[in-house]
Amino acid sequence: MPKPRIVTGYRPTGKLHLGHWFGNLQNMIAMQRRYQAFWFIADWHALTSHWQDTSHIRVFTEEMVLDWCAAGIDPSVSTIYRQSDVPEVAELALYFDMITPMGWLERVPSYKEQREQITDKDLSNVGFFLYPTLMAADIAITLAQAVPVGEDQAPHLELTREIVRRFNGTWGEYLVEPKALIPEEGARVPGTDGRKMSKSYGNAIFISDSPEEIRAKVMSMITDPARKLKTDPGDPDICPLQQIHKLVGAPDVVAEFDACCRAAECGCVAHKKKLVEDLTEYLREFRERRAELAAVPGFAWEVLAGGAERVRPVAAEVIANCRRVVRIDGREEPASPSERDADDAQEPF
């Protein structure tokens, strides 16, 4: 029996940060051996918002592969590829565009939010509006049953399920409705300013940051805003410093800082210094491994070429079946449900 499939994608629009590391990457690493794992660089998705300046996509693509592999994604186990190496994704997205009501896309929270909040980019293009149908195609082209993502992607996953249901209901049961796998811890890692850590907010601690960069960023972090003086008791539950420390520090040390902050017995500067130390140590092995991989000429591109070869036959088979279901492949009879991939008979999620 083949292993069930899982898939997820990252846009190559910046370096990986602690939000990715805890919100998603650790889940991906933990799952890669139990399932047939497909991890891709969503370079077409990067174009939806960065179409005016595409000059960074190549570098961020390469860096992402290095980050993934140094963190523990194993390219001999996981299939790592670029979205744009799989043109079948674009064809499936086109079928989805035919059946998706505009109202569904207009209601996606991140669509409205980003149109309002991101003012330095022109997001009035059709491609940005169609982001969710392209994302649904990324997932459906692998027939994956589950998608490890951070909490912010939950509405996109819900929409993917609706689109797949509509495809199956309109044209014939074939595609798989995928579930979102959201980690309990680290589902929303705060940035240095307390908002969600995101490369677009300038509040990110990148996993490839040097010890000096880590120190500068942590020392400038905001803490409980109500705690003005060392003698004021603080609330660690709303302190981004403590939330990140919980993820990287030893539990007894973290508990100690929690207690002494509440009792106004220790200051935020001491806590920051300890977090610098713990975070630098936490990422040390990753940093060393990344430097080793970066020294191998062409490493990332070889990984992507190998991944493309592995995913293409999967995508080719799924798109051929989709054409049959849609009844545009010239045959008389549509595909029967029994041709659906055998894996999804199991329900492991």
Interacting residue ranges for ligand TRP, rule: CB under 6 A:
7-11, 42, 45, 135, 138-139, 147, 149, 153, 156
24 binds, among ligand TRP, ligand ADP, none (CB under 5 to 8 A by kind): ligand ADP
Extract the tokens encoding 121: 């980019």
Nearer to ligand ADP, 114 or 168 (CB): 114
Q: How far apart are CA 269 and CA 274, in angstroms?
A: 9
The residue whose Cβ lies closest to ligand TRP is 9
Nearer to ligand ADP, 108 or 266 (CB): 108
Residues that bind ligand ADP (CB under 6 A): 10-11, 19-20, 23-24, 149-150, 152-153, 187-189, 196-200
Extract the tokens encoding 166: 């509509």
114 binds, among ligand TRP, ligand ADP, none (CB under 5 to 8 A by kind): none
Nearer to ligand ADP, 192 or 321 (CB): 192
Nearer to ligand ADP, 203 or 321 (CB): 203
CB 138, min distance to ligand ADP, A:
12
CB 42, min distance to ligand TRP, A:
4
CB 115, min distance to ligand ADP, A:
16
Sheet architecture: strand order including 5-10? 79-82, 36-41, 5-10, 146-148, 179-181
Q: Could you write out the DSSP letters of every residue in 180-248?
A: EE--STTSS-B-TTSSBP-GGGT---BTT--HHHHHHHHHT----TT--STTS---GGG-HHHHHHHHH
82 binds, among ligand ADP, ligand TRP, none (CB under 5 to 8 A by kind): none
Strand partners, 9: 40
- For residue 115, give Cα distances in angstroms to 34, 106, 131, 168, 245: 39, 11, 13, 31, 33
The b-or-e profile of 108-120 (16+ CB within 10 A means b, else e) is beebeebeeeeee
CB 280, min distance to ligand TRP, A:
27
CB 291, min distance to ligand TRP, A:
26
Each as own residue / partner, the long-range contacts of residues 201-204 (CB below 8 Å, 24 or more positions apart, any chain) are: 204/14, 204/15, 204/17, 204/18, 204/19
Nearer to ligand TRP, 161 or 246 (CB): 161
Strands 179-181 and 79-82: unpaired
Extract the tokens encoding 327: 């009844």
Q: How far apart are CA 119 and CA 97, in angstroms?
A: 27
199 binds, among ligand TRP, ligand ADP, none (CB under 5 to 8 A by kind): ligand ADP
135 binds, among ligand ADP, ligand TRP, none (CB under 5 to 8 A by kind): ligand TRP
Nearer to ligand ADP, 123 or 189 (CB): 189
CB 7, min distance to ligand TRP, A:
6
The alpha helices in the chain, defined as continuous H runs, are: 18-20, 26-31, 43-50, 57-71, 88-99, 102-106, 109-117, 126-129, 131-140, 154-171, 211-219, 240-248, 251-262, 268-282, 284-294, 299-326
196 binds, among ligand TRP, ligand ADP, none (CB under 5 to 8 A by kind): ligand ADP
CB 10, min distance to ligand TRP, A:
6
Q: What is the number of other CB atoms lying within 10 angstroms of the CB of residue 134?
A: 23
Nearer to ligand TRP, 7 or 73 (CB): 7
CB 139, min distance to ligand TRP, A:
5
Nearer to ligand TRP, 159 or 325 (CB): 159
147 binds, among ligand TRP, ligand ADP, none (CB under 5 to 8 A by kind): ligand TRP
